[in-house]
Amino acid sequence: MAIAVEEIIDLRSDTVTRPDAGMRKAMAEAEVGDDVYQEDPTVKELEKRAAKLLDKEAALFFPSGTMANQAAVLTHTTPGEEVILGADSHIFYYEVAGLAKLSGVQARILPDEEGCPEPEDIREAIRGDNIHFPVTGLLCLENTHNRSGGLPVAKNRLRACCEVAREKGIPVHLDGARIFNASLALDVPPAELVKDCDSIMFCLSKGLGAPMGSLLTGSKDFIERARKNRKLLGGGLRQVGVIAAAGLVALENREELQKDHQLAVKLAEIIRDFPDEDLGLANQATNFVMLEYTGSKGAGWLEQKLAEVGVLCNKLHDSKLRLLTHRDLEEKHIDQFAERLDNIFSRGGE
Ligand code: TLP
């Protein structure tokens, strides 16, 4: 029996959010200038706002989170150094080996299934003074942690990791693509959460709904050096105030991420209570829901079946699907998800 798919329910990522009417209006009315000459007033305003929000000296606008992360690594390190980071971190796992290709550094990966490496593992990984060893140049952390299922990393845990690095004079970069989700989930102001990190990247184009853009924040000196590296990476932009204007609106959406977290709880309950014994909830945190499917046909089969009934999600590995909530979804979409999932299994999963 074919199901009429009235509306696609896109749970692949919070990156699928589209700019709303208010954002588009702000974009149309934005004052602009040439940002390579640092003459775009809207970009400047956004950078000022971002720095203030995280209590850092300065900020720099980037087209994407990946470019901002890579520019941060490039700015903190010297080729031939070693960077310590989680085996499941976005910078290591999803950034096309940029560490090696762009910065010429070696990755020293540590277990981070729970969202963050152990401070003791970091301590052991930091290189000592030995003629055979590379120099440890940087520690990278991530909050919320994508591949562990959107886990928010507690303030004290971040602090403990940063302290180990600081003792050895090693800078810390935080991939805070979803730092405002972490802040809401932990009920800790964002500036306090990132206090011990030297540089922080956060994204406007995920749950906050902007069409593109990320900010890198840190000291004035660091940001000036990062500006040159952004140019090197091809990220020197011109009249980009039209995009920064959307970013300023996006920053006002921070509290609304709470709605995404609530929808994720509802989605998780549906999955947890689902009567098929092969299907269950692996975990839920912030706006992430991880569905576990242990049936013999595999999670790829379920991903395909869901797509056929208009539910899009991403397979994370053999038995897990990743479903993210975001601002373009409402409660009715979660109800529709439940109906469509029911339909797949009541048809015997054929
Ligand atoms: N994450 C995307 C994909 O790249 C996997 C997603 O759909 O979750 N850091 C973290 C923690 C991220 O989750 C992402 C995007 C980035 C950096 C990169 O941001 P963009 O996509 O702007 O380059």
> How far, in Å, from the CA of 90 to the mean position of ligand 1?
7
Q: Is any atom of ligand 1 closer than 6 Å to the C-beta of 198?
A: no
Pocket test for ligand 1, best of 99, 143, 153, 203 (most atoms within 8 A of CB): 203
Residues 178 and 272 in one domain: no
For residues 209 and 110, what is the distance between their CA atoms, to the nearest angstrom? 32
Q: Is any atom of ligand 1 closer than 6 Å to the C-beta of 35?
A: no
Q: Is any atom of ligand 1 closer than 6 Å to the C-beta of 323?
A: no
The answer to whether position 23 is within a domain reads no
Q: Which residues contact 295 (CB under 8 A, 6 or more apart)?
A: 276, 278, 279, 301, 302, 349
**Residue closest by Cα to atom 16 of ligand 1:** 65
Please state, for a pLDDT cut of 70, what percent of the chain lies above it.
97
Q: Is any atom of ligand 1 closer than 6 Å to the C-beta of 175?
A: yes
> How far, in Å, from the CA of 168 to the mean position of ligand 1?
29
Residues 116 and 41 in one domain: yes
Beta strands in the chain (DSSP E): 9-10, 58-62, 82-86, 106-110, 136-142, 172-175, 199-203, 214-218, 279-285, 288-293, 311-312, 314-317, 320-324
Q: Is any atom of ligand 1 closer than 6 Å to the C-beta of 143?
A: no
Residues 261 and 244 in one domain: no
| Number of structural domains the chain divides into | 2
Closest CA to 119 of 147, 161, 167, 148: 161
> How far, in Å, from the CA of 300 to the mean position of ligand 1?
22
The answer to whether position 21 is within a domain reads no
The answer to whether position 61 is within a domain reads yes
Residues 152 and 46 in one domain: yes
**Residue closest by Cα to atom 4 of ligand 1:** 94
Residues 244 and 317 in one domain: no
Q: Is any atom of ligand 1 closer than 6 Å to the C-beta of 148?
A: no
What is the residue range of 192's domain? 31-252
Q: Domain holding 186: CATH number?
A: 3.40.640.10
Three-class SS string for 241-297?
A: HHHHHHHHHHHCCHHHHHHHHHHHHHHHHHHHCCCCCCEEEEEEECCEEEEEECCCC
Q: Is any atom of ligand 1 closer than 6 Å to the C-beta of 325?
A: no
The answer to whether position 116 is within a domain reads yes
Residues 10 and 97 in one domain: no
Residues 38 and 173 in one domain: yes
The answer to whether position 25 is within a domain reads no
Residues 155 and 278 in one domain: no
For residues 271 and 263, what is the distance between their CA atoms, to the nearest angstrom? 12
pLDDT at 317: 85
Q: Domain holding 315: CATH number?
A: 3.90.1150.10
pLDDT at 350: 59
pLDDT at 1: 45
Peptide bond into 144 cis (omega under 30): yes
Q: In degrees rounded to 5, what are phi and psi of residue 186? A: -95, -10
Residues 266 and 201 in one domain: no
- Which residues of the chain register pLDDT less than 50? 1
Q: Is any atom of ligand 1 closer than 6 Å to the C-beta of 303?
A: no
Q: Is any atom of ligand 1 closer than 6 Å to the C-beta of 203?
A: yes
Residues 267 and 160 in one domain: no
Residues 76 and 205 in one domain: yes
Domain stop point among 252, 286, 308:
252
Domain stop point among 219, 234, 252:
252
The answer to whether position 66 is within a domain reads yes
pLDDT at 73: 99
Residues 225 and 263 in one domain: no
Domain stop point among 215, 236, 252:
252
Q: At residue 187, what is the residue type?
A: D
The answer to whether position 312 is within a domain reads yes
The answer to whether position 26 is within a domain reads no
Beta strands in 148-248 (DSSP E): 172-175, 199-203, 214-218
Q: Is any atom of ligand 1 closer than 6 Å to the C-beta of 214?
A: yes
pLDDT at 5: 58
